[in-house]
Amino acid sequence: MQLYRAEYSTNVERAALALAHKGLSAEPVWIDYADRTAVEEVSGQPLVPVLVDDDGTVVADSVAIMRHLDERHPQDPLFGPPEVDLFVEWFDEVWKVPPNAIEASSDGDLVSRLSERMAGWLDLFERLLAERDFLVARELTAADLVAYPFLKYAAGREPADDELFHRILDENQTVEGRPRLADWIARMGSLPQC
């Protein structure tokens, strides 16, 4: 297997966590954000991650890769309970809207409102973790793998990671007053990645 990836990519991290969870490895194919030719040639589109399976199957998109891995390697499933699918869809189609809008806006009032919305959702994650160690189930699921690469910035950012979107996540999220979320981020951060 090969995994097309780029440095500090949150979506690549999702796939890397899923591969390791399944006990799989993939040869990394690193791309430069300034030259996406290699990933475009293999997948017909410019985004990472892209997985090229051993049989030549090409899968683009982190969630599609997780679903593909579940189908091909059903041990330790990432999907199953309907809450997982609901959370994954909500996270990608609702949760990601405010930080993306902050990145695109120069309106201070809008940025403030969106930041408050993100803070409210951090409180929601704190409540979800009140009775279990993971976001929507008693075991690790795709919900955790989808959210972690974004929520981890509530606990800080690597100094070398200077991407604007990651700075926005760092500046508009905090684990302060959210000990269960902080513990979850630490547990997720200790998981292996491919």
Domains parsed from the chain with CATH numbers: 2-72 (3.40.30.10), 82-189 (1.20.1050.10)
| pLDDT at res. 103 | 94
Distance CA 101, CA 94 (A): 11
| pLDDT at res. 136 | 96
| pLDDT at res. 52 | 98
Distance CA 162, CA 185 (A): 20
| pLDDT at res. 53 | 97
Distance CA 144, CA 142 (A): 5
Nearest to 172 by CA among 101, 89, 86, 88: 101
| pLDDT at res. 93 | 96
Distance CA 176, CA 166 (A): 18
Distance CA 38, CA 4 (A): 9
| pLDDT at res. 5 | 97
Low-confidence ranges of the chain (pLDDT < 70): none
| pLDDT at res. 184 | 98
pTM of the model: 0.95
| pLDDT at res. 135 | 97
| pLDDT at res. 151 | 98
Contacts by 61-66, CB closer than 8 A, 24 or more apart: 61/11, 62/11, 62/12, 62/14, 62/15, 62/18, 62/146, 63/14, 63/88, 63/92, 63/142, 63/146, 65/14, 65/15, 65/18, 66/14, 66/15, 66/18, 66/142, 66/145, 66/146
